[in-house]
Structures are given as structure tokens and as C-alpha cells.
Amino acid sequence: MSSRLVVGILSALLAPLNRGAPPLPPRPGALTPHDSALHALNRLAYGPRPGEADRVATTGVMRWIDRQLDPAHIDDAALSARERQIGVLSYDRTALARIYYAAQRERRERMRAGADSMGGQINPGPGQRLGRRLAGDLASLVVVRATLSERQLAEVMADFWANHFNVFFGKGADRFLLPEYIEHTIRPYALGRFADLLRGTAQSPAMLVYLDNWQSVAPRSGTARALKPRGINENYARELLELHTLGVDGGYTQQDVIGVARIFTGWSIQRPQKGGAFRFYGRAHDRGEKIVMGVRYPAGGGMDEGFRLLDWLAENPVTMRHVSHQLCARFVSDQPPDGCVDDAVAAWQRTHGDIREVLRAIFHGPDFWAAENVLAKVKSPLEFVVSAVRALGAGPDTTARLAQVVARLGQPLYLHVAPDGYPEKQSDWVNSGALLNRMNAGIALAAATLPGVTVNLDLAVPATPNLEQLLATVDDRVLGGAMTANTRRVILEQLHALDDPVQARALAVGLALGGPEFQRQ
Amino acid sequence: MTISRRVFVKSGGLAMVSLGLDPLFLARAAFAATRLGAHASTGPVLVCLFQRGAVDGLNMIVPHGDRIYYDERPRIAIPARDVVNLDGYFGLHPSLAALKPLWDNKSLAIIHAAGSPDSTRSHFDAQDYMESGTPGRKATPDGWLNRYCEHDRDHLATPFRAVAFGPRLPRILAGTAPSLAIQDLQAFGLRAPEPARDRLTGAFEQLYAGAATGLLASSSQEAFEAIQLLKRVNPTQYQPAGGAVYPRGRLGTAMLQIAQLLKANVGLRVAFAEVAGWDTHVNQGASDGQLAARLADLGQALAAFAQDLGDGMRDVVVLTMSEFGRTIRENGSRGTDHGHATAMMALGGPVNGGKVLGRWPGLDPAQRFEGRDVAVTTDFRDLFGEVLASHMRATDLSAIFPGFTPDPRRFPGVVTV
């Protein structure tokens, strides 16, 4: 290697050191109304749209929060119109099952005919293409709703629960069961009662397939179903305790897991080819007595003992604490202070798990507004992409390509394989490759070359030859006033080399979106 | 979080602080010296290659000396005359002929009847278990390769220590130890034509150096270091050595780029590549056909990699793996369904090659798993664990495979000691 290169690498490595320690983010004692509005828009929403922070500050941030907690009274007509154009919403589970199995048949026939050894991966048939389009719809719905909905908190919570009760789209019949799961099991209860979510997911074909409970039968129950199940399957039972309710240190034993699995024997689905609706098969159900964490379920309890167990779990203080902790990690800080978790648990106890009231307690608590928790969380890829699109007043186009951008940044929607869902901690999202991808996405979005989005920068950041003014607008619109002196200086330096105001604007916005301030919320 | 440990490892110890010099400066200088010195070229390397979709171990490594194999597969068995014989009983699928010289020079070993103790026949679950390293336990948050990196005591501070070739970090490398997912070395970094790219890279580097804190700061710094290192690698100009020709396609490209990183001495220790298309339920073919085409790609990619690295294979072990095997009996569609054990391959200088390792349970119905599949006689954790302990110098396997008690007596003997 040439010595010049060595020197070059060394000086590149050492260069940052000469500038001294990085400045700490501003830590005002109390937030201004504008900063409070920004903070609320960063956490309860997918970031502010142009001018929105001012509007929320004028309304009063607590009033805005109360409105967000009551989404039924927020008009969302523009989004509804947009949703009607998305194909997958017009098919029910049975229709989707038909499409799925037709595509599978098509794939097999093409392989058998020897026409296509890769089963249509390279040259898909019409049925396969439809299947793929509907799968793309599901992911793009997330991005479209997160970007356009006025009911922002409801969207954030739909994402939270879809993640808490994660189902992997790629597991067998879940390819056609997931739309119903999201639309009917999760979304209507996003700000509802936890017990309803728990009962709903326990009976959902999507979860029963994902965690194998549909194959769980009492030993020697004598059913001769297609897949010849051999006894109980503990998957759902274990994840119900470990992830959905009590948490990994929730105090249960392997014997408790087995007890739960026995309680849910027979909770299954109709043949997937017929649509796979929920069914309770009494013949497959273990009729014996069970004891779970000291609670006795007498012999012959049937399906009701499952509901009894779910309601007991929903009202269990260990569950309250586990789920409240997750909510606080989402809204307050990756490592939430005990105080806000306590507040959430108290509200849960008082209201029997009314999530709206649990959230209200969190948003009214001092920890939510504490200076050290403002801009303390790193955005997930979904939050990064959607907040960038919103900051520019842009919108997703009618393809699934913006959802694919989110996937390339590391968060393919509904494709998290493990039942724990996508992580909430920054350590899981921040790595070198991921940051480079975000920088590239920021530059591309500002240059209007990011796939899947229509952007007109004139709305948010008008072009101007006055660089000071340009930077002030970028700071206000993109960074919410958080631009550091260093960022200002670096961007200005870059802009001096350009004389075209349109190019200068694209570069300034791109650097701001890909830079460090915008990664935080 | 591991930031403090990472900083500690990077700084190579905190002793320098006591000298009264700026520790960060010294740490940086020491780090740069380590990275650019000869140290990077020595040290063990593990390349894991995942065959997603459950490869048919019996048509990959063919028990051509067994009557039952031919009885059970009247339409898809590999005729004995086509099999590349290894030891009189087993042989390679003809599409893997490129690997025969590696068997002959004792750098290729086969581990047959390997797999998971868990009985699932779900691709999703079985891949998950093989990558998390905890069969039967789904909530394990990280992968065993990442846990190895986390517990590895003498690793180098380089952004290229653990690299997965693919669109995102696979489960096997998920976790707290920094690892990189690269789709294509040529596209790593800021996407812009030169000289704009250099300017843009410099601008972002300054933005992050000046305003990022915590993990954003350290990760961005790793990113820009990686870009600097890659400039030296110059991926667009790579010429494989020894006349090696990699097959076209994703696997060939991944193996080529792994070889490239190894030769560039950027400190690569753990690499991961994957190749799909093994789920041959229908018309899987015999000596020719669907599976034969996939195997030809695999065999050529591995042979080219060995040829390209030449003496460099001294420190390298390539390990193939697949979530499970396929049924002994062919199905009604000239294919095979989900089974249990499969065959895995180990390739490289440290490999105890020229042997089929592991206890072969046989194809006799009485020996089968659930009456239909090849039984697992080598738990994949014993195979992976041996490679980590004997080759990669892992000291604590129980931290890498929680809930599992590794026992050297169960190791298949894949690494020469």
C-alpha cells in the first residue's frame, strides 16, 4: 500500500478527534409549546408534516393528544378514499384462500410441465402475479396509512400491536390469513381493551397457524386430520406467556406451559383450502383437569377454560407491568423509567386494561415530557421513511415500492420471522450498513429519485439562492429546529460549490434527512 | 449494550490511559496500526453457506452402495454409473464433480445424517432453530454466529469482521455484535457517481462526526472506515486467482466477494452466504434436472472459491448447512417431501477431509426417524460447536449454544487437531 494512502486513512481516522468532543443535544429545562408539539408529533405520530408543529402548538398539545386518543372523531376521508384503491382490502379470507391455492396449483403445474424449473419465480403466471400484488398491497397499506392518516396515534398503535402479536407473513397459510388478522383482529382494538386483543389473537387463524396451535391436539384424541398431529404443540402456549402477556421472567414453569398448551388443544382452523376459519374441535380437546400457575381448571372445561385463562392473564399484574413497560419503551425511552411504567400499570388496574387510558397516563406523566427523553429514541426504518416523506409533504405512489424501501432499510413489513416482533431498542436498528442505507435514502428522496414516492419540494422547502434562508427552512421543516452548528456549517460548505438553487436545495435536504439529527425522534 | 465493550476491545486495553496520553488518540492510532498491519491476514475464518429450502441430502451425497436407496427412489435416484464415488458406499451427485479433487486432497469432509434434534418439518421453524442455535426455542433473540462474535476474545476491530451477503442481516448474525449485511461490495457506500461520491461521503462523515452521539456515532464511524477499507479492495477490479471461474448468479458473486475480502486482509473472520431453491417437492430430477442445476451452481462456487484462495484456504473452513433433509422415498410427483437429517459439507485447510463423518444410521425402515426419514445422528450444534471450538478458538460453547452441553466426545471430528 502506498504511504500516501496510509496517511490518508490515518488522517481520515484522526480528523474527527481534532474537533473535540461532540456537542450534547440541547437540553432545555422546560419545553416550549413548539418543542412540545414536535415531541408529541415525533412519538404519537410519524413525525410532523410542513407547518404541523405550529398548528399543534396553537391548538395546544394536550388537546391534540386527547383528540388523537379518540380517533373515531377525527375525519380521515382522504385516507379512506386512498384505501379504496388498494386491492387486497376488497377480498375476504375465503377469496384470498382461493387466490392463494390457485397460484400454488399454477406453480406446481408449471414445474410439472417442465416449463419453468424455478416454479414461476422468474416468469410467474397470472395467478402468481395476482398473489404477489396482493402481498405487496398489505405492506404498502402500512406505509400509506402511516403517511396519510390523520389518526396518527391509532396507526402507531396498530403497528405496536401487530408487532406485539407478531405473525410472519411467509408461514404457509398466513400468506392469505394475515389481511383479516390485521384488519379485523388488530386494528379495531388498537386503542381498545387488551383482553379483546388477547382473545382475538388466540382465536385468529393467522396466529393459530403461525404458532402451530391449530395442530395441537390432546394425546390419543383419535382425530385423523390431514397433517396427522401427534399430540400437544407448545409453541403458542409458550409465546402467549413469554411474549404476549407475562414476559420471559413471568414466573411460569415448563409445567405451566404444558398446562396452557393442554387448555388450547382443539383451538384450530377449518381446512385452509376452505378458507381456514376458526374452529374449536371438542374431540381434539384435552378434557382432563389442568393447573396453570396455581389456578385450577376442572376437567371438562371445554373451550371456556381458554377464555378463563386469557382473561386471567389480561388482568394479571405481571402482564400489566410487562406490556406497560413495552408501551413506555415505545413512547418514552428505550429504557423507560419506573415512574412511567408505574403510572401505566395504575391506569391499567383502574380501567381493566383500557389501552386508551393507559396511554393517557403515559402522555400525562412527567417522564414523557422530561428533557432527557426528548429526541432520545432512534427511529426504526419504518419511522425513518415515513417521517421523511411526511416532513417533505410528499406521499406514497400507488405501488408497493415505498414499502420495499422500508424493507431494504431492514424492516420488511409482516416479515419478521420470530414471534418477538421487531425490536424497540436502537441497538437493533443502528449499524454501519443500515446508516449508509439511510443516507442514500435521504439523498434519493430529496432528489425525487426514491422509488414509490411522489415528492414536490416546493411545498416544504422552496428553492432560493439565499443559502441562509434555505438552511433556516431546512432546519425548521426537516429537523424541527434541532440542526446543530456543525451540521449547518458542513451543509453550507457543500452548498457553496453549487450555483443551481434547485440542486443546492436537494443536497441540503438530502444531507439533513440522512444526517444524525433526523435519525432521532 | 455492548458499546463499552466494543470501545474497550477497539482500544486494545486501557493501560495506555495511565501513561497520561490522550487515550482516544492512542486507541485510534493502535487500532489503525492493527488494522493495516500483517496481523489481519492471520487468524481463523469461518464461511457458513445456508441452503435454504431443505436440500435432499440423499441425492447430494448419494448412498449408492445401498439397495434401499434405489428401491425407494425408482424415478429420481442417481444411477450408480453417474455417481462420483467417494468411499464405495457414498458418492457425490455428478453435478458436484468439481469437488472431487478437494475430497482427494483431504480438504473436503461430508457429515451425513446431521440435523436438528427438533422434529419440526416447517422450513420456517427449522431455519429459525438452525440460525438461533436453540432448537425448540423460538424466542431466542440472536443468532449463534453473532453470539460467537460477541464471546470471541481476540477479534479485530474492523467493520468487516462478520459479513453476511444478502439484502439484510440473517437471523444467524442477528444480535449485539456488530455485523454487516452487504448485498454487493461494489454498491457499498454512498450511491453517487465520482467525484460527487467522495464529496458526499466526506460531508456525511463530518455531519456524523460533529453531531452524532452514542451508537449513531460509533456505527457511522465504522461505516466510513469500511468505505475507506473498501477503496483499497477496489471491488470492481477483482481478478480471481488460479484461473478460478465463479458461476454467475448470487451464490457465485457472494463467494467471489468473500474471497476478495479475505485476500484484502480487512479482518474478515465470519462470513455468511445463502442460496435458495432446494425445496424439490416436484420433478426434482436425477442426474440432470432441477436439483442437478442447483448443485452444479453450489459445486462450482465452492470449487472456484477454493481455487481462488489457494494457500489462503489454510485458515478457512466453509460449512454448508440446510434446515432439514427430505424423505427417503420419492413422492408421487417425482420429488421428495420434508424429512429430517441431511448432509452437510466442510471444506478447507483445517478440515479432516476425505472422509464421511458422523454415524450413518442407514436407510433400513427400523432405523428411520418416524418410520420415513434419515435419523439425525449428529446434532448440528455438535458440528457447529466443534468448528467454533477447534477452528475458531471459541472458549465457551455453552454461551454460544445456550441450554446445550457440548461434549467433545460427540464432535464428529471435522477439524484436524
Coil, strand or helix at B165? strand
Rounded CA separation A484/B193 (Å): 28
**A286 phi/psi in degrees, rounded to 5:** -75, 115
Residue B195 located in a structural domain: yes
Residue B251 located in a structural domain: yes
- Contact of B30 with chain A, judged by CB distance below 8 Å, is answered with no
Average pLDDT over residues A337-345: 97
Write out pLDDT tens, residues A262-311: 999 999 999 988 889 999 999 999 999 999 999 999 999 999 999 999 99
CB A250 within 8 A of CB A241: yes
Residue A488: closest CA among chain B residues belongs to which residue? B207
- What residues does B318 pair with on adjacent strands? B47, B347
Residues spanned by the domain of B128: 40-410
Q: What is the CATH number of the domain that holds B374?
A: 3.40.720
The grid cell for B107 is 480438504
Residue B56 located in a structural domain: yes
Write a three-state SS string for B178-206.
Answer: CCEEECCHHHCCCCCCCCHHHHHHHHHHH
User: CA of A83: how far to CAs of A90, A145, B125, in Å?
Assistant: 10, 8, 34
Shortest Cα–Cα distance, A222 to chain B (Å): 18
Residue of B24, B180, B211 with shortest CB distance to A432:
B180
Write out pLDDT tens, residues B107-161: 999 999 999 999 888 888 899 999 999 999 888 889 999 999 988 866 667 788 9
- What residues does B163 pair with on adjacent strands? B180, B271
CB B144 within 8 A of CB B128: no
**Which residue's entry shows cell 462420483?**
B84
Residues contacting residue A337 through CB under 8 Å, at least 6 positions apart: A328, A367, A370
- Contact of A168 with chain B, judged by CB distance below 8 Å, is answered with yes
Rounded CA separation B253/A356 (Å): 51
Burial of residue A464 (number of CB atoms within 10 Å: 0-12, 13-18, 19+): middle
Percent of chain A's residues with pLDDT above 70: 90
Write out pLDDT tens, residues B308-354: 999 999 999 999 999 999 999 998 888 999 999 999 999 999 999 99
Residue of B2, B205, B216 with shortest CB distance to A430:
B216
Return the amino acid letter for B169. L
Q: Which residues of chain B have pLDDT under 70?
A: 1-41, 153-156
Write out pLDDT tens, residues A437-448: 999 999 999 999
Q: What is the pLDDT of residue A118?
A: 52
Q: Where are the alpha helices (DSSP H) in A15-172?
A: 33-43, 52-59, 61-68, 77-83, 93-112, 126-148, 152-164
Q: Mean pLDDT: which of A21-25, A27-31, B100-104 is highest?
A: B100-104
Q: Which of B215, B250, B280 to mutate to test the interface with A (most CBs of A within 10 A)?
A: B215
- Nearest Cα to A492, choosing from A463, A517, A512, A516? A512
Buried/exposed code over A55-73 (b: 16+ C-beta within 10 A; e: otherwise): ebbeeebeebbebbbebee
- pLDDT of residue A26 exceeding 50, the answer is no
Shortest Cα–Cα distance, B21 to chain A (Å): 14
Residue of A17, A117, A432 with shortest CB distance to B28:
A17
Q: Residue B220: left if φ>0, alpha if ψ -120 to 50, beta else—which one? A: alpha
What is the CB neighbour count within 10 angstroms for residue B155?
18
| Residues from chain A contacting residue B132 (CB–CB below 8 Å) | 418
Q: What is the pLDDT of residue A231?
A: 83
DSSP A73: G
The grid cell for A396 is 406514497
Q: What is the pLDDT of residue B31?
A: 40
Q: At B316, which helix (H) or strand (E)?
A: strand B316-321
Total domain count for chain B? 1
Cis, bond preceding B117 (omega within 30 deg of 0): no
Residues contacting residue B151 through CB under 8 Å, at least 6 positions apart: B394, B395, B396, B399, B400
CB A446 within 8 A of CB A475: no
Buried/exposed code over B6-25 (b: 16+ C-beta within 10 A; e: otherwise): beebbbeeeebeeeeeeebe
- Nearest Cα to B382, choosing from B403, B362, B409? B409
Return the amino acid letter for A479. L
Q: What is the pLDDT of residue B156?
A: 64
- pLDDT of residue A366 exceeding 60, the answer is yes
Q: How far, in whole angstroms, is CA B13 from its chain's centroid?
A: 30
Rounded CA separation A245/A303 (Å): 20
- Nearest Cα to A204, choosing from A213, A195, A193, A216? A213
A378 and B277 in contact by Cβ < 8 A?
no
**Which residue's entry shows cell 435521504?**
A442
A117 and B293 in contact by Cβ < 8 A?
yes
**Which residue's entry shows cell 432439514?**
B324
What is the band of A361 on the pLDDT scale with cuts at 50, 70, 90?
very high
Q: At A368, which helix (H) or strand (E)?
A: helix A366-369
CB B87 within 8 A of CB B335: no
Residue B159: closest CA among chain A residues belongs to which residue? A432
CB A122 within 8 A of CB B249: no
Residues contacting residue A103 through CB under 8 Å, at least 6 positions apart: A125, A127, A128, A130, A131
Domain boundaries, chain A: 194-333+335-354, 377-519
**B366 phi/psi in degrees, rounded to 5:** -65, -25
Coil, strand or helix at B112? strand
